[in-house]
C-alpha cells in the first residue's frame, strides 16, 4: 500500500542543539500513530516539520508520494493540521471561518458548501454555524479547529494535543471521531497522556529528549499478563507449577503478575488455582502494555 | 491564489471594529479639515489668493490624509504577522498549500486595499464641490495617486517589522520609528542629497502639486519593494527557524 507519510532521517537543530534526532516514520491508510513523550520531547517540532510550518535541518518528508520540500503545494494539499492552540479567528462566525479555510486549501464555492455541511455534522457543529468563534466554549473551539483541518478531506491528519482542555465526554467523542476519520486517512497525533494514546492509536512512537526510543505497535491488551491476588502467600515456583500459568512474578506480598500458557483461558487458570486450594481475591487483565513500554523505553533512553 | 487570500484577509479585517473605527475617525478629521480649508479660502480676499482652491485643498486635506495613513498603517500591519504568530493563527497559512510569496502578496493587497478607502475620502470630499465650482481634477487625481503610493510604501515597511517580531507592540513601535525617520530625513540641510532623496515628504509634495514624475513613482515603488523583499526573506528565515 502507498505510504501516506514517510519521513526519512528527519531531524531538527535549534542553535546547534539537536531538538529532534533523525526520525523515520511510515504511515499507511488506517494508521493512527501516537507521538508520546514528556513535555519538551520534540513532539510539536516533529508535527510542525511534517506540516511544513518548519523546515527540517536535514532529512526529508514525503506526503502521498510528494516531497514536502520539492513539491510543497501538492504535498500540503493532502495535509490537515490542528496545532496545539487552534488557529482561529475569533471575530468570525464558524461558517465564515470554515469557508475561508476551504478557499485556502483550493476548494471552490460548491465544494466548500458541501464540505462545510459534512464537517459540521462530523464535528457536531450543526447548531453553531452562525455563532461567533469568540463566544464558543473551549471544547467547541477545538471542534472548529478540527473541522478546519478536515474540510478539504486530507489524506494525512496531524493533530497536536487534540484533547487538551476538553472534558471527559468531549474526549470520548473526539476519540470516536478520530477513529472514524482514520478509515480512509492516516492520523498522527501527539499527547503526553498515556491513556489517551492507548485509547485512540494503533501505533506509537515514544520520544525522549528528541530521540525516538520506541516506534511500533501498541501491544494488544489480550497478549499481556494478568494481575493475580491470593489470600495465601505461595512461592512463585508453586504458581508456575500449574499447567495454565507460564510465568509469575511477585509484585507485592499478595499480588502476582502472571502470564498464561498458550491456549489456556483465564477461566481455566482460575479453576486450577481454586483446585489447588488457594483463595483468589483478584484475577484481572493487567494493561502492562503501554505504561511499561513507556517506562522501559524512557528509562532506557536516559541511561 | 494571492487574490483569494487578499479577499479572505480583507473580509477578516472588515469584521473588526478597528477597520470601521479608523474609517470613521478619518472621515471626521478629513471632513473637518475640508470645511476649515473652504472657510478660510472663501474668507480670503482675491488678491491674497496666491494659489487656487485645488491647490489649497490638495495641500491641506491630502497633507492630513498622509499623516493619518502614517498613523493607521502600523496598527493594521502588526495584526498581519506579529499578532498571528503570537496567537498561532499563522499555522493556518503555513500549513496550507501557499508559498510565502503568495501569503505576503495576499496580505499586502488586503492592507493596501483598505488604505485605498481612506485615500479616496479626500477625493470624494473634493468631488462634492464640482456642483458649484471648477476644480483641477488632474491635480486631485495626482494627489490621490500620491496617497495610494504612500499607502503601499508604508504597508511594505509595516509588514516587514510585523514579520520581524512576535511582539505586536515592538513591531508597531519599530514601524512608527522608521516611518517617522523617513519623514524627517530631509529636515536638515547639511545631510547628503541621497539622504534627502530617501525622505518621502518631498516626493509626495510633487504629487500634491500635480507633478506626476516617474522618479517619484519609482521612489515609492522601490521603497515598498525593498521592505517587502526583506519581509519575504524574514518569512523564509522563520520557516527555517
What ipTM did this prediction achieve? 0.82
pLDDT band at A224 (very low <50, low <70, confident <90, very high): low
Q: What is the mean pLDDT of residues B219-232?
A: 95
**If you average pLDDT over each of A129-138, A280-289, B180-189, which comes out highest?**
A129-138
Is residue B82 within 8 Å of B171, Cβ to Cβ? yes
Predicted local confidence at residue A157, as pLDDT: 92
Strand pairing class (A5-14; A58-63): antiparallel
Predicted local confidence at residue B159, as pLDDT: 96
Nearest to A89 among B7, B12, B239 (CB): B12
Query: In a 3-state reduction of DSSP, which class is residue B156?
Result: helix
Query: In a 3-state reduction of DSSP, which class is residue A55?
Result: coil
Residues 6+ apart with CB under 8 A from A4: A27, A28, A29, A31, A63, A64, A78, A155, A156, A185, A186
* Rounded Cα distance, A110 and B241, in Å: 38
**Chain B CB contacts of A76 below 8 Å:** 95-98
The neighbouring-strand residues paired with A189 are: A34, A159
The neighbouring-strand residues paired with A62 are: A6, A67
HSE (side-chain half, CA atoms, 13 Å) at B188: 8
Ranking A276-280, A297-301, B201-205 by mean pLDDT, the lowest is: A297-301
Closest Cα partner for A142 from A78, A187, A94, A91? A94
Closest Cα partner for A41 from A204, A270, A248? A204
pLDDT > 90 in chain A, percent: 14
Cβ B95–A103 below 8 Å, yes or no?
no
Cβ B92–A96 below 8 Å, yes or no?
no
Closest Cα partner for B172 from B73, B91, B94, B239? B73
pLDDT > 70 in chain B, percent: 98
Best of A16, A42, A53 to mutate (most B CBs within 10 Å, chain B) = A53
Interface of B with A in 120-159 (CB under 8 A): none
* Rounded Cα distance, A89 and B210, in Å: 43
Q: What is the mean pLDDT of residues A60-75?
A: 88
Predicted local confidence at residue B160, as pLDDT: 96
Predicted local confidence at residue B191, as pLDDT: 67
Closest Cα partner for B55 from B145, B144, B148, B135? B135
Interface of A with B in 23-62 (CB under 8 A): 48, 51-55
* Rounded Cα distance, B8 and A84, in Å: 23
Predicted local confidence at residue A303, as pLDDT: 35
The pLDDT tens digits for B137-178 are 899 999 999 999 999 999 999 999 999 998 999 999 999 999
Nearest to A73 among B92, B93, B97 (CB): B97
Phi/psi at A136 (5° precision): -85, 155
Q: What is the mean pLDDT of residues A180-200?
A: 86
**Chain A CB contacts of B93 below 8 Å:** 104
Predicted local confidence at residue B69, as pLDDT: 95
Predicted local confidence at residue A301, as pLDDT: 45
Q: Say which residue the cell 521612489 belongs to.
A: B219
Is residue A236 within 8 Å of A256, Cβ to Cβ? yes
DSSP state of A93: B
Name the minimum distance, in Å, from the CA of B102 to any CA of chain A: 11
Alpha-carbon torsion, ordered B19, B23, B26, B32, to 10 deg: -150
Is residue B62's pLDDT more than 70? yes
Q: What is the mean pLDDT of residues A133-147?
A: 89
Is residue B232 within 8 Å of B224, Cβ to Cβ? no
What's this model's pTM, rounded to 2 decimal places? 0.83
Cβ B93–A104 below 8 Å, yes or no?
yes
Q: What is the mean pLDDT of residues B226-234?
A: 95
pLDDT > 70 in chain A, percent: 92
Is residue A166's pLDDT more than 90? no
Predicted local confidence at residue B110, as pLDDT: 95
pLDDT band at A221 (very low <50, low <70, confident <90, very high): very low
pLDDT band at B203 (very low <50, low <70, confident <90, very high): very high
**Average pLDDT across chain B, whole number:** 90
Predicted local confidence at residue A163, as pLDDT: 84
Cβ A104–B96 below 8 Å, yes or no?
yes
Cβ B12–A92 below 8 Å, yes or no?
yes
The pLDDT tens digits for B105-125 are 999 999 999 999 999 999 999
**Chain A CB contacts of B18 below 8 Å:** none
Predicted local confidence at residue B86, as pLDDT: 87
Is residue A64's pLDDT more than 70? yes
Distance of CA A261 to the CA centre of its chain: 31
Q: Where are the alpha helices (DSSP H) in chain A?
A: 43-51, 72-77, 94-104, 109-122, 138-150, 168-181, 194-200, 236-240, 266-275, 289-302
Nearest to B92 among A91, A101, A158 (CB): A101
Closest Cα partner for A208 from A17, A41, A43? A41
Predicted local confidence at residue A302, as pLDDT: 39
Predicted local confidence at residue B23, as pLDDT: 95
Is residue A286's pLDDT more than 80? no
Predicted local confidence at residue A270, as pLDDT: 86
Neighbouring CB atoms inside 10 A of B204's CB total 23
Predicted local confidence at residue A232, as pLDDT: 81
Neighbouring CB atoms inside 10 A of B28's CB total 10
Residues 6+ apart with CB under 8 A from B195: B185, B186
Cα A202 to Cα A83, A208, A290: the distances in Å are: 21, 20, 11
Amino acid at each position: 500500500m502507498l505510504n501516506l507519510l514517510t519521513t526519512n532521517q528527519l531531524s531538527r537543530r535549534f542553535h546547534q542543539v539537536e531538538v529532534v534526532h533523525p526520525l523515520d516514520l511510515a504511515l499507511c491508510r488506517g494508521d493512527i500513530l501516537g507521538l508520546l513523550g514528556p513535555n519538551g520531547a520534540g513532539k510539536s517540532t516533529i508535527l510542525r516539520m511534517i506540516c511544513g510550518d518548519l523546515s527540517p535541518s536535514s532529512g526529508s518528508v514525503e506526503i502521498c508520494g510528494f516531497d514536502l520540500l520539492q513539491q510543497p503545494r501538492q504535498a500540503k494539499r493532502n495535509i490537515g493540521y490542528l496545532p496545539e492552540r487552534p488557529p482561529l479567528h475569533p471575530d468570525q462566525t464558524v461558517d465564515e471561518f470554515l469557508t475561508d479555510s476551504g478557499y485556502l486549501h483550493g476548494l471552490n464555492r460548491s465544494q466548500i458548501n458541501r464540505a462545510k455541511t459534512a464537517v459540521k455534522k462530523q464535528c457536531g457543529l450543526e447548531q453553531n454555524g452562525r455563532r461567533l468563534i469568540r463566544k464558543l466554549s473551549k471544547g467547541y473551539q477545538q471542534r472548529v479547529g478540527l473541522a478546519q483541518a478536515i474540510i478539504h478531506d486530507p489524506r494525512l491528519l496531524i493533530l497536536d494535543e487534540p484533547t487538551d482542555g476538553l472534558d471527559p465526554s468531549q474526549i470520548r467523542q473526539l476519540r470516536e471521531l478520530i477513529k472514524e476519520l482514520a478509515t480512509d486517512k492516516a492520523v498522527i497525533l501527539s499527547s503526553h497522556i498515556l491513556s489517551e494514546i492507548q485509547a485512540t492509536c494503533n501505533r506509537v512512537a515514544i520520544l525522549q529528549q528528541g530521540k525516538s526510543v520506541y516506534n511500533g505497535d501498541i501491544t494488544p491488551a489480550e497478549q499481556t499478563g494478568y494481575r493475580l491476588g491470593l489470600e495465601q502467600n505461595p512461592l512463585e515456583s508453586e504458581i508456575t507449577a500449574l499447567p495454565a500459568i507460564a510465568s509469575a512474578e511477585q509484585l507485592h506480598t499478595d499480588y502476582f503478575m502472571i502470564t498464561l500458557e498458550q491456549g489456556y483461558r483465564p477461566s481455566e487458570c482460575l479453576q486450577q488455582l481454586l483446585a489447588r486450594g488457594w483463595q483468589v481475591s483478584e484475577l484481572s487483565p493487567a494493561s502492562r502494555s503501554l505504561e511499561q513500554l513507556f517506562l522501559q523505553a524512557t528509562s532506557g533512553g536516559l541511561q | 491564489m494571492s487574490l483569494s487570500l487578499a479577499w479572505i484577509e480583507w473580509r477578516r479585517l472588515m469584521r473588526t471594529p478597528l477597520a470601521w473605527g479608523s474609517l470613521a475617525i478619518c472621515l471626521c478629521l478629513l471632513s473637518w479639515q475640508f470645511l476649515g480649508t473652504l472657510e478660510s479660502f472663501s474668507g480670503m480676499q482675491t488678491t491674497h489668493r496666491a494659489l487656487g482652491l485645488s491647490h489649497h485643498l490638495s495641500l491641506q486635506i491630502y497633507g492630513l490624509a498622509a499623516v493619518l495613513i502614517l498613523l493607521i498603517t502600523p496598527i493594521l500591519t502588526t495584526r498581519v504577522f506579529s499578532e498571528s504568530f503570537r496567537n498561532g493563527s499563522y499555522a493556518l497559512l503555513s500549513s496550507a498549500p501557499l508559498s510565502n510569496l503568495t501569503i505576503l502578496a495576499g496580505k499586502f493587497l488586503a492592507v493596501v486595499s483598505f488604505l485605498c478607502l481612506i485615500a479616496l475620502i479626500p477625493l470624494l470630499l473634493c468631488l462634492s464641490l464640482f456642483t458649484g465650482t471648477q476644480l483641477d481634477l488632474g491635480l486631485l487625481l495626482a494627489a490621490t495617486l500620491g496617497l495610494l503610493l504612500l499607502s503601499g510604501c508604508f504597508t511594505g515597511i509595516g509588514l516587514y517589522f510585523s514579520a520581524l517580531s512576535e511582539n505586536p507592540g515592538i513591531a508597531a513601535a519599530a514601524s512608527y520609528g522608521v516611518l517617522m525617520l523617513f519623514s524627517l530625513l530631509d529636515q536638515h540641510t547639511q545631510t547628503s542629497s541621497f539622504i534627502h532623496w530617501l525622505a518621502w515628504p518631498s516626493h509626495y509634495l510633487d504629487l500634491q502639486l500635480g507633478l506626476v514624475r516617474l522618479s517619484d513613482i519609482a521612489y515609492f515603488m522601490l521603497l515598498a519593494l525593498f521592505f517587502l523583499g526583506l519581509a519575504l526573506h524574514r518569512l523564509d528565515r522563520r520557516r527555517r527557524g
